[in-house]
Chains A and B, each alone.
Chain A
């Protein structure tokens, strides 16, 4: 059927992606609800527990994710201009930034483990109930987020290969656009995790 692809509406692909994003918001939303309730009940414990985290590490990782989101936005921009070379370069840069985020996050976790702070550890259980809850939420929420970053890295790697092969192009942009939406979602979730865990003054 000649011309069928031209008339294909990419909005169907987008609506599926947006519905997925909504389900992700409610997945993390449940955890944010738990966070709100426990922080409301244990404000002093949340404050004292948060001093263990390094604001500099958190701020650095925030800048990394924001920059990676910027790179993906530019990748989609160049795809629409039908320039695959910068698209692949920008996706490669995004993957590298995502990996750097995970390295920083991993070193932060390793640092907590070295201090004996991990779920159900004797050192942690010796602390007050509110602090145990803080660290429980910290490990679950940053862990779930890091899993999303890892999946995003795998996804963007596939998208970069598909762009090199010409399967993603200005005429077929939907997959990369949706991959970009996913990466921005991961960025937004971190934008909230950073102040909630690191910036309890």
Chain B
């Protein structure tokens, strides 16, 4: 990866931060939470792929570790809400 790539990712992260602040100011109602979470996920993806070098990772194990942890967390939260939402 070149310095130019890092600079572009950095600029992208700052732009997305500005975007999330603006998005939160719009009256999006219920969509608002999904919008800011989606932007946060996009920013995290940039950090993981470029700054944490997962994009140039060759071993499958390293590529899979993070998705497995996030899937576990999603299952925790999802299963909890099958209970909470039904009360």
Binding site for B on A (CB under 8 A): 11, 14-15, 18-19, 21-22, 25-26, 29, 32-33, 36-37, 40-41, 55, 59, 62-63, 66-67, 69-70, 72-74, 77, 180-181, 184, 187-188, 191-192, 194-196, 199-201
Contact = CB atoms under 8 A, between A and B. Distances in A.
Q: Chain B at the A interface: mostly helix, strand, loop or mixed? A: helix
Contacts of A32: 73, 77
Interface string B44-81: 10011011100000010110011011101100110011
A131 to B, nearest CB: 18
A69 B47 contact: yes
Given A69-B47, A184-B47, A22 B85 contact: no
Given A29-B73, A33-B77, A37-B80, A18 B62 contact: yes
B36 to A, nearest CB: 4
A74 B2 CA distance: 9
Given A15-B61, A18-B65, 20 more contacts: A11-B62, A14-B62, A15-B62, A22-B69, A26-B69, A26-B73, A33-B77, A40-B81, A55-B24, A67-B14, A70-B13, A70-B51, A77-B1, A192-B40, A194-B20, A195-B36, A196-B36, A199-B21, A201-B25, A201-B32
Contacts of B48: 184, 188
29 contacts: A18-B65, A18-B66, A22-B66, A22-B68, A25-B70, A25-B73, A29-B73, A29-B76, A32-B77, A33-B73, A36-B81, A55-B24, A62-B17, A63-B14, A66-B13, A70-B6, A70-B7, A73-B9, A73-B50, A73-B51, A180-B52, A184-B48, A187-B47, A188-B44, A194-B20, A194-B40, A199-B20, A200-B33, A201-B24
